[in-house]
A and B are shown apart, each in its own frame.
Chain A
Amino acid sequence: MNELSTNHLLGIRDLSSADIELIFQTADSFKEVINRPIRKVPSLRDITVANMFFENSTRTKLSFELAEKRLSADVLNFSSSGSSVKKGETLIDTVNNILAMKVEMVVLRHPDPGAAAFLSRNVNAVVINAGDGTHEHPTQALLDAYSIREKRGRVKGLKVAIVGDIRHSRVALSNILCLQKLGAEVMLCGPSTLIPRQFAELGVKLSYDLDETLAWCDVANMLRIQLERQGSPDDVRYFPSIREYTMAYGLTRERLLKQNREILIMHPGPINRGVEITSDVADHKNSIILDQVENGVAIRMAVLFLLASKIRRN
């Protein structure tokens, strides 16, 4: 199979394991491209991509933009701050106004779950979900699984722990679905207030003890504690204090040494150093945090290339 089964990338849920494998193989080729002296290919020179970010993002936006430029696409950047969205324009109107300028693909980051799927049904463009609220973030899950595959040679049969703020994370759901489709086992770990019980229905293990989790896993993906969601807006506190969270769920060198074996350390960024992960662990040789960033560009190039090759020109 040389073609994706979907016309948009809305979530990992819509992808088959063959789709994921195709994206990985294509990313292998792009990884070679981005390590050449001239890191650019002309594949998407007739395509215009709009990056529409209705929520703050640094690395996802930069990574998509770089991927688009490495493929020679024309790039439009839109962010909701300082735009007509503040004047009350609807999502569909905003996007249709941009599409009227002859744009073929939209990369959407939006605070509402389902925004990307909604848009794909209502506008005439290829939609790539770059994070919709706490729902999915498919390219992050793909690059995480790709990074595991690169370091360990496979994903199937590995035990992957996702640790931290599962409740507020869009990375968690996409990662669980992606890893399961590739045949890995997943365990979620964190304070019970941050792991909604519904996750058990996805067939993952739940744990509230980090040491127990580390004893089980081959890979630990440490999620960021979303400090901005602590105590606001409705003054909900999910744990007593940052210090207490760090004592129970922070990944430290001492905790890793106790395991006496190699565990791959991942983090989708941005890191709160000293909260969910200490600096010496983040910079440890088993930490692949910066490899994840590099692979992010290759994965996004692969997704853009494969979806663009379904846009017909005749």
Chain B
Amino acid sequence: MNPKTLIESRQLELIIERLCFQLAEDHGDFSNTVLIGIQPRGISFAEKLRTKLIQVSGCGNVPFGKLDVTFYRDDFRRRENPLKPGDTDVPFSLEEKRVVLIDDVLYTGRTIRSAMDALLAHGRPSAVQLLVLIDRRFSRQLPIEADYIGMQVDSIASQRVAVEWSAKSASGKVMLFTS
């Protein structure tokens, strides 16, 4: 079956802008906030969001790190296709910081569970929030919910949600694949 487009490029830009305003409302001048993108697919989204956030909020810089959670997963020995670890690049301490974890799709919640575990290796944050572009609701295997959500999607396990970013512009689209 052909993939269904859930979010078109113009709509995606608006969603990112809205998420930035929500973040700005909660975090003020971002002096004590850091953004952490989750490898591999949270990174492009987090980078685009951060660029927009700097424009929208007017603050010069928001610290940004990349977190790989492969070594913290509870399912790395149960998967069909083994995972390849990505880079972790958190060039600052998270001690007493407000951390916003960023990923593209929230599904079972297991990646986020691993990410919270992985974060603690870099210090004890004062708070951790979760921002996702797509929330595949009603499919959680753990009690985890996002604080900022681009769009909620109803989907079944056999379907796959993928975000495709265009290389040049700040936009992309979100597709739903049914096999």
Contacts and interface: CB of A to CB of B under 8 A. Distances in A.
Interface of A: 2-3, 22, 25-26, 28-29, 32-33, 36-38, 40-43, 71, 305, 308-309, 311-314
A42 B122 contact: no
A36 B81 contact: no
Contacts of B72: 41-43
Given A42-B72, A314-B78, A25 B121 contact: no
A313 B77 contact: yes
Question: Which of A33, A43, A312 has most B Cβ within 10 Å?
Answer: A43
Given A42-B72, A43-B76, A32 B83 contact: no
A2 B77 contact: no
A29 B81 contact: no
B123 interface: yes
A32 B73 CA distance: 17
A309 B76 contact: yes
Given A37-B123, A41-B118, 9 more contacts: A25-B85, A26-B85, A32-B87, A37-B93, A38-B120, A43-B73, A71-B71, A305-B71, A314-B78
Contact of A42 (B77, B85, B93, B117): B117
Given A312-B77, A313-B77, A36 B121 contact: yes
Contacts of B135: none
B82 A309 contact: yes
Interface string B103-121: 0000000000000011011
Contacts of B82: 2-3, 309
B78 A313 contact: yes
Interface of B: 68, 70-73, 76-78, 81-88, 93, 117-118, 120-123
Given A29-B85, A33-B71, A309-B82, A40 B77 contact: no
A311 B71 contact: no
Contacts of B117: 42
A215 to B, nearest CB: 39
Contacts of A42: 71-72, 117
B77 A37 contact: no
Nearest to B120: A38
A2 B88 contact: no
Contact of B83 (A2, A22, A36): A2
The 6 closest A-B pairs by CB, nearest first: A41-B71, A29-B85, A38-B121, A2-B82, A2-B84, A43-B71
A2 B121 contact: no
A60 B171 CA distance: 51
Contact of B87 (A2, A22, A29, A313): A29
Contacts of B118: 41
Nearest to A41: B71
Nearest to B117: A42
A141 B136 CA distance: 47
Contact of A37 (B73, B76, B78, B121): B121
B114 to A, nearest CB: 9
Given A26-B85, A29-B85, A309-B82, A36 B71 contact: no
Contacts of B88: 29, 32-33
